[in-house]
Amino acid sequence: MRTKQEYLIRYKDGNLYCELADIWIDPSKPVKKALITHAHFDHFTFGCEEYISTKETAILLKERVGDNIKIKTFEYGEEFKINGINISFHPSGHILGSSQIRFIFAEEKWLISGDFKLQKDQTCKQYEIVKTDYLISECTFGLPIFKWDESNKIANDISKWIINSPEKTSLLFCYSLGKAQRLLNEISQTNFKGNIYSHGSIHKMNNSYRELGIDIKETIKIENKKKIDELKGSLILLPPSLSKGSYLKNFKNIQTAFASGWMSIRALRKRSGYDKGFAISDHADWDGILEVVKKSEAKNVFFHHGDSEALSKYLVEKESINVLLFGK
Amino acid sequence: MSLKKFSELFGDLDSINSTNNKIEVLKNYFLSNDPIDNSWAIYLLTGKSNKRFISGRYLKNLFSQIYEYPQWLIDTCYLKVGDSAEVITLLLKNKTNSRKKKLSNISLNELLSQTIPALSKLNEEEKNLEIKNLWETLPEENHLIFNKILTGTFRVGVSIGLITKSISKLINIDEEIISHRLMGDFKPSIDSYEFLINKNINLQELNSKPFPFLLANTIEDKIFKNSINDFQFEWKYDGIRMQLIKRSGNVSLWTRGQELVNESFPELVEKMSNIKDDFVLDGELLVWNFKEQIAFDFSLLQKRINRKSPTRSIQIKYPIIFIAYDLLEINGRDIREFKLENRRIELEKYFSKWQIKIENNVSDIFKICDLIFPKDWPDALTFKEKSRENNTEGLIIKKKTSIYSSGRKKGIWWKYKVDPMQLDAVLIYAKGGSGRRAGLYTDYSFALWKDKELIKFASAYSGLTNIEIKELDKWIRKNTIEKFGPVRSLKPEMVFEISFEKIQISKRHKSGIAVRFPRITKWRKDKKINDADSLENAYELMKKIS
């Protein structure tokens, strides 16, 4: 077995790093060259000299942080070379533009899954199975209690939740990029035909999605001084950061909900402080992670993002897959 | 009328925070379901019985066997979820795609009166097969209810008061009456539901039931503005609150938890039967120190509570007394509408009448509570401070003009409890919580110094705010020395103020002491572990009390 230093990709200062190409993946501090899997803020930091991503990720990033960054873009599947290493982006199904990144060097394949899901999502490209020798996978929901329902079922639950309280304004909290657009897309196909409002941060992302050719239902940008009557019976999408504090005082007679994979657990639902929880996630559930591990045909697997203890033990015991520890 | 509707009701009640909406949902459920299903729903929601058919452990083992899941994986999931029934429900998702015909129309009644009781008649192998079969045939949305009922862990955020309110709204009859009808035994049946919703308010059946208890609220400062003469003062005993009922010659003892406990206290039933009058008394059952005329510790009472048909020697070893606070009914006449001061006059009158008759022979097992007469509020405070000396918890203060209504009515009765005892202790172990605290470390053990060593003296899990719990949880994960299953031993660094009600010698604990109702009252971030108290301090505290 090789030592940690001899792996093509390893952990350095808490980030994924490929020494041969001197390139970092989703680094949390400024570096020279950074590969970005997708445009969520926990995968991006300011101050890198150069960023490399898919075209969609680049556009979303610029929309969020301004044009002041230098980004080189590649299409899905398009190979590019750095220091003799072949690198390519592949759809990961997480949000628009999100990707897995494959490295090939001396006939050895490495795959970084990025954040991913296998479930259908009409707002982004479906996850692509990529074969690899080494797989570095996220495992945010790495326990078998996580098993997602079809997203149209959740959308129907949300629709029912709004329709059953016509006197109330329904506030649905969700991440502004990705989750909000997926929900809009799904909800527009349900029985709920009332007005949908969205917070500025979500509204902005909706527009970017449309510009990138994704069909997103038109929403009304929420103004602080909307008349209460107008909002009765309608749906408002808000980012989770606004769920605590004074923002909610702008509304009267509300019901609140949070859309997140964690909401499948009753204790977390209760603790979250929202009236209701809808278990919908842009990450893979347990079966999804297992499927990717199997279909990638990886002989060696690393996990990051999440508690991987149980998942690792299960793969070793049940599937005889070699699970390696990075050591952060 | 399917089980599905009850599952939906459970889901709604679980996710609605507003009381009014909960009442509305309950009302609608009662309106759209059979009397028999309604009756079962009330039975479950009021927690009248939570019989455990199989344990959570058994359920997990069974799942592990059937679906070839490693036990450790289920246990890991449990730590995150905190409820066996829910873990198995989540794990069962999409697992049961069998071709078997679904039991989509099974009713709550069928499940509870037939399907589940039938399991107890099977041997283990048959039982396992039948549970598997039910998992495969019950529609998925009913799995949680089914697993919860099986493991006796069905609970949802609904109080008896809320059920009472919704039935009261449903039929437009006063809550007090519904609350009375819900007292005592409740056997699910069409009749019991019809009885609950009967519009005639003077039903004979009420005779077999205790009255709803009136409860005291925690003292409020505004009470001190009133004249002391407006109130009646009693000691707050630490026993079992009880209604002692004698109607048509039959005596029954009903606890506040609405259990009939005649069998545990036969000597009381026997003696009270000697009295000629019929009556309903509200009072407290205690194990009594007749020599000193004070109550023995609650721990002695525990030796009697769960023991049915106690022997003569047990009765002598732990002698009981019933102390009456109040008279609610006399010879068939409900006097709850009388003012307290007038009820007291009646109580004293009848008590002396009963006591005088030698053949009654009740004086060694029954008395009425002595009243206290403080001159002014500071004097009341002095009485309160003395309450530990006679083994009481403080004072009960009652408005003399109050009628005997039900529940925790505001502004009528107050409890004025003696201040707790406190020690500063060091956090040394933490364990994962269950239920809504699942996935967080919320059960803590605390230690006191003995020379240079920290000795565990109490465990507590209440008293911190949710924000503090999350902060401490983070700290615990970073400062773990060792893991033993769900328990972590921790770097001794955090000091907490622990409050408790009683302290006594205990041979069972390494520390040599046991405390009652320990809880966290302050996170002493200002203190270092060397500032924490020692076992010696605890012994001194104990000496001071006794």
Chain A residues in contact with B435 (beta carbon < 8 A): 267
pLDDT, tens digit, for every residue of B13-52?
A: 988 878 888 999 999 999 999 999 999 999 999 887 678 8
DSSP B124-139: HHHHHHHHHHHHHHS-
Q: Give the integer Cα–Cα distance in Å for B94 and B145.
A: 17
Q: If residue B13 lies in a helix (H) or strand (E), which one and from where to where?
A: helix B3-15
| Distance from the Cα of residue B307 to its chain's centroid | 19
Amino acid occupying residue A318: K
A231-251 mean pLDDT:
89
pLDDT band of B161, cuts 50, 70, 90: confident
B513-521 mean pLDDT:
90
Over 90: is that where the pLDDT of B404 sits?
A: yes
Q: Which two tokens stand for residue A242?
A: 């606004």
B202-218 mean pLDDT:
84
Which pLDDT value is given to residue B430?
Answer: 94
Over 70: is that where the pLDDT of A328 sits?
A: no
Residue of B nearest to A286 (CA): B91
Chain A residues in contact with B90 (beta carbon < 8 A): 144-147, 264-265
A148/chain B closest Cα distance in angstroms? 9
Q: Give the integer Cα–Cα distance in Å for B450 and B444.
A: 19
Kindly state whether B91 is in contact with chain A, defined as any CB-CB distance less than 8 angstroms: yes
Residues 6+ apart with CB under 8 A from B402: B339, B340, B412, B413
B87 with A145: Cβ contact below 8 A: yes
B338-360 mean pLDDT:
91
Neighbours of A289 (CB within 10 A): 29
Residues 6+ apart with CB under 8 A from B489: B428, B429, B480, B481, B482
pLDDT, tens digit, for every residue of A259-300?
A: 999 999 998 998 888 999 999 999 999 999 999 999 999 999
Rg over alpha carbons for chain A, rounded to the nearest Å, is: 21
Best residue of B17, B73, B470 to probe chain A, by most A CBs closer than 10 Å: B73
Among B31-45, B115-129, B347-361, B419-433, name the one with the lowest average pLDDT.
B347-361
Backbone angles phi, psi at B377, to 5 degrees: -65, -40
Kindly state whether B465 is in contact with chain A, defined as any CB-CB distance less than 8 angstroms: no
Q: Give the integer Cα–Cα distance in Å for B532 and B451.
A: 12
A144 with B73: Cβ contact below 8 A: yes
pLDDT band of A66, cuts 50, 70, 90: confident
B439 with A270: Cβ contact below 8 A: no
Chain length of chain B: 546
pLDDT band of B361, cuts 50, 70, 90: confident
Which chain A residues have any C-beta within 8 angstroms of a chain B C-beta? 143-147, 264-271, 275-277, 309-310, 313-314, 317-318
Over 90: is that where the pLDDT of A252 sits?
A: no
DSSP A49: S
pLDDT, tens digit, for every residue of B211-262?
A: 999 999 988 888 999 999 999 999 999 999 999 999 988 899 999 888 889 9
What is residue B476's three-state secondary structure? helix
Residues A185 and A216: beta-carbon distance below 8 Å: yes
Among A144-153, B180-189, B358-367, B418-427, name the one with the lowest average pLDDT.
B358-367
Beta strands at B394-399 and B231-235: parallel, antiparallel or unpaired: antiparallel
DSSP B112: I
pLDDT, tens digit, for every residue of B486-506?
A: 889 999 999 999 998 888 888
Over 90: is that where the pLDDT of A65 sits?
A: no
pLDDT, tens digit, for every residue of B255-311?
A: 988 888 999 999 999 999 999 999 999 999 999 999 999 999 888 898 898 788 899
B93 with A310: Cβ contact below 8 A: no
ipTM for the predicted complex comes to: 0.92
Which pLDDT value is given to residue A115?
Answer: 96
pLDDT, tens digit, for every residue of B176-196?
A: 889 888 888 788 999 999 999
Task: Return the ∠ at Cα B292 (arms to B289 and B297), rounded to 5°.
Answer: 40
Which pLDDT value is given to residue A304?
Answer: 82
A308/chain B closest Cα distance in angstroms? 11
Chain B residues in contact with A268 (beta carbon < 8 A): 438-439
- Mean pLDDT across chain B: 90
Chain A residues in contact with B17 (beta carbon < 8 A): 275
B354-368 mean pLDDT:
84
Which pLDDT value is given to residue B546?
Answer: 61
Chain A residues in contact with B83 (beta carbon < 8 A): 266-267
Beta strands at A23-25 and A33-35: parallel, antiparallel or unpaired: parallel
DSSP A254-270: EEEEEE-GGGGSHHHHH
Of A143, A147, A277, the CB nearest to B80: A143
pLDDT, tens digit, for every residue of A94-115?
A: 999 999 999 999 999 999 999 9
Size of interface A-B (CB pairs under 8 A): 61
Q: Give the integer Cα–Cα distance in Å for B81 and B92.
A: 14
pLDDT band of B420, cuts 50, 70, 90: confident
The answer, as to whether pTM is greater than 0.90, is no
Among A74-83, B1-10, B29-38, B341-350, name the one with the lowest average pLDDT.
B1-10
pLDDT band of B509, cuts 50, 70, 90: confident
Which pLDDT value is given to residue B209?
Answer: 85
B34 vs B358, residue with greater confidence = B34
Kindly state whether B79 is in contact with chain A, defined as any CB-CB distance less than 8 angstroms: no
Most confident segment among A248-257, A316-325, B59-68: B59-68
Q: Which two tokens stand for residue B488?
A: 């972590």
Residues B504 and B514: beta-carbon distance below 8 Å: yes
